[in-house]
Amino acid sequence: MPHAPSRKQLHTLVSGVLNKTPLVDLHTHLYDPALGPVLLWGIDELVTYHYLVAEFFRARPDFGYDAFWALSKTDQADLIWRELFVLRSPLSEACRGVLTVLHRLGLDTKTKDLKQARRYFQKRKARDYVDQVLKEANIKRLYMTNDPMDPLEAPGWEKGFDRDPRFLGVLRLDSAIMNWPDGASRLRAMGYAVDDGLTGNTLSQIRRYLNTWCDRFDARYMAISLPPTFRYPDIHSPLTTLITKTVIPVAAERDIPVAMMIGVKKLVNPALRLAGDSVGKSDIDTVEALARDFGNIRFLLTMLARENMHELCIAARKFKNITPFGCWWFLNNPSLINEITRMRLETLGLSFVPQHSDARVLDQLIYKWAHSRTIIGEALTDKYADLCATGWLPTKSEIERDVKQLFDIAL
């Protein structure tokens, strides 16, 4: 009877498999390098990430919002670096992330300015750097967030380009259907004959929009972020009507999933711009009702409130068409990734997607995945150790199989 491995031996095995398994990143704000400068990378983008902007104002509440936004990106980065990394220890997850990237790139992290880092990035070419970062983070494919109504992204699609197969398309729905009829004028400007009242051909025109852009993007799923107040059923809500009468029928026709990211309160502090969004507790009854009424739809689901995470695990146990994914945004911190991952392993086994990066800056892939692989590795090690205590000893190939199921996502 082979003897059970020690926890240390198990941890070495599990973390080795995790680190060498190329993964698929289910949700990012990154772009095919052919789309040009809309793909953000480099030290100034890293340090002015909206998470760090919010933390800067915690350190400097005396600093005016307008004064900050009036600065150049370089000056913003220098200011944030000084306040959060020099005058204070960079203990937050977002600060630590920047240091992990610099450290993995062989750069000095305890430096009083960004001169060395800027010299490093000035020598990089975007396409080579994409290869370097994907290799360092061991990512084989990632899903973008593509919005036909984004003025920064749209020109690249109009021009057309040879796709990088590592960057998969996703049709993002917010700008078209959130806060209806805000999107109606944008749709009309694109040639879709919609009216504010969702009457006549409006719904079929919106389905045409969805199909046209799913084709253009070769979209592997459609995605939308939703407020904590989102409800289904809700006969008075244009949003609910649009989701059930346009998004869901098109997803069914195309047999692609619908990703719902529920719980964001947009711009509670508009002065913070992208950093101004907050979190609210969402309604799990709505999630269960959607999964029940649309059993033919695969729902990729993540929620922003910690309190919703356990409810989502249980909803997924009740509905096989729910796949919980990621530790989203304010949950993407070691203490919560740890809690959520263990909760999911205990309630769902391997039938969930443990993490996505949500990276907005290419280099973030390095830290978001290094940090998550470590935490998820600890949780998996403990779960395998629990199995060993029953005499069920995992083999290396079984651990490789399990890790592939968790991270090598094929939609």
Contacts to Zn ion by CB under 5 A: 358
For ligand FIX, which residue of 86, 274, 314, 387 counts as binding (CB under 6 A)?
A: 274
Residues in the chain: 411
Name the minimum Å distance from CB 359 to ligand FIX.
8
Name the minimum Å distance from CB 329 to Zn ion.
7
Name the minimum Å distance from CB 251 to Zn ion.
19
- Residue 409's identity, in one-letter code, is I
CA 98, CA 53: separation in Å to the nearest integer?
13
CA 22, CA 40: separation in Å to the nearest integer?
23
Mention every residue, 6+ apart, whose C-beta is less than 8 A from residue 247: 173, 177, 210, 222, 224, 258
Report the SS3 class of residue 201: coil
CA distances from 200 to 56, 123, 140, 230 (A): 49, 56, 44, 25
CA 262, CA 168: separation in Å to the nearest integer?
22
For ligand FIX, which residue of 83, 288, 339, 358 counts as binding (CB under 6 A)?
A: 358
For ligand FIX, which residue of 244, 360, 382, 393 counts as binding (CB under 6 A)?
A: 360
169 and 218 Cβ atoms separated by less than 8 Å: yes
Which positions from 229 to 268 touch ligand FIX by CB under 6 A, shown as an x/- string? --------------------------------x-------
Residue 288 interacting with ligand FIX (CB under 6 A) = no
83 vs 358, beta carbon nearer Zn ion: 358
For ligand FIX, which residue of 204, 237, 329, 348 counts as binding (CB under 6 A)?
A: 329
Residue 273 interacting with ligand FIX (CB under 6 A) = no
Total chain residues near ligand FIX (CB under 6 A): 8
Q: What is the dihedral of CA 208, 211, 212, 216, to 10 degrees?
A: 170
Closest listed residue to residue 144, CA positions, set 31, 36, 220, 251: 31
117 vs 331, beta carbon nearer ligand FIX: 331
Residue 202 interacting with ligand FIX (CB under 6 A) = no
Burial of 37: CB neighbours in 10 Å, binned 0-12, 13-18, 19+: exposed
Name the minimum Å distance from CB 392 to ligand FIX.
37
Name the minimum Å distance from CB 205 to ligand FIX.
25
Residue 333 interacting with ligand FIX (CB under 6 A) = no
- Name the residues that contact ligand FIX, by CB under 6 A: 29, 145, 225, 261, 274, 329, 358, 360
